[in-house]
Structure 1
Amino acid sequence: MTLLEKLNSTDRFAASIGARLIEVGDGYARAELTVEERHLNGAGVCQGGAIFTLADLTLAAVMNSHGTLTVGVSNNINYVRSAKLGERIVAECRERVNHHKLPCCDITVSNEAGDVLATMTGLGYRTKNEFVFDALQ
């Protein structure tokens, strides 16, 4: 099973909101979500938690792509624009530092027009456990 397939099938929360990985490469991952009624907050725009979950899914892919179980320890997200009903939003994660214990990544979430909706920085902790998969994608 590839890393893309593994995370799409085992990250049940991300799957439950409709988020899915569409690309995993060396130090890079991309995921998408179409904003539905269930994602809207009281202001009628996409709830920040849905955007965070999409970004976090890409973070998990990049940080675990080296074959060692890595868990998130700190995330900082900035919301700069709203996502609206029906929009397809995309998170892209790029590895900034591939540290043996504390890897760091930058994630950008954008809409189809390329407008940035949120930026996030994620810090992980690499455990001593393997994270087994056959290939990235």
Structure 2
Amino acid sequence: MVQEYLDFFRANDHFARHCGFELLEVKPGFATAKMVIRPFHFNGANTVHGGALFALADFVFAVAVNSRGQLALAINTSMAFINAALAGTLVATAREVSCNRRLGVYQVDIHDEQGQLIAQF
């Protein structure tokens, strides 16, 4: 059932596909995804747009939080932008910090190819 749910999630997240997000690994309470930086990801300052970073973090969070096959949604999020992303591939990793019957807490870290922390969600 969990695999069917994840397949449904992948097939129906049209925005993630449009942005070029690719799942790398999924297990209960955990997910990683990558985004190859393309010209449409850049803002006017010629760095990856904060919205693109937020969308990548939100996507990998959504996969991790739904990785047990039960629909779950965010009620509050925030993002800290640590370093500018300029080129290459970004990898976002979502990890469950705590989870009970009604509420879960997750942290998402986005790193560049050199392992530099770009943002936390």
TM-score (norm 1): 0.81
Judge conservation of contact 1:3–1:61 (CA < 8 Å) in 2.
no
> Is the aligned partner of 1:55 residue 2:57?
yes
> Is the aligned partner of 1:67 residue 2:69?
yes
Residue 98 of structure 2 is matched in structure 1 by 97
Query: Offset of 1:90 from its aligned partner?
Result: 0.4
Q: Distance in 2 between matches of 1:106 and 1:89?
A: 16
Q: Is there any run of 5+ residues in structure 2 with no aligned partner, and where?
A: none
Count of matched residue positions in the alignment of Structure 1 and Structure 2: 119
Judge conservation of contact 2:6–2:69 (CA < 8 Å) in 1.
no
Q: Distance in 1 between matches of 2:7 and 2:35?
A: 16
Identity %: 30
Q: Distance in 2 between matches of 1:20 and 1:83?
A: 18
Secondary structure of the residue aligned to 1:70 is coil
User: Which aligned runs of 4 or more in structure 1 are off by greater than 6 angstroms?
Assistant: none
Judge conservation of contact 1:93–1:106 (CA < 8 Å) in 2.
yes
Query: Offset of 1:72 from its aligned partner?
Result: 1.1
Q: Deviations over 1:2-32 (max 9, x none)?
A: 4543332211111111012111012210000
Query: Offset of 1:73 from its aligned partner?
Result: 1.2
Q: Is there any run of 5+ residues in structure 1 with no aligned partner, and where?
A: 121-137
Judge conservation of contact 1:8–1:20 (CA < 8 Å) in 2.
no
TM-score (norm 2): 0.91
The letter of the residue matching 1:37 is: P
Q: Higher strand fraction: Structure 1 or Structure 2?
A: 1
Q: Higher helix fraction: Structure 1 or Structure 2?
A: 2
Q: Distance in 2 between matches of 1:4 and 1:117?
A: 27
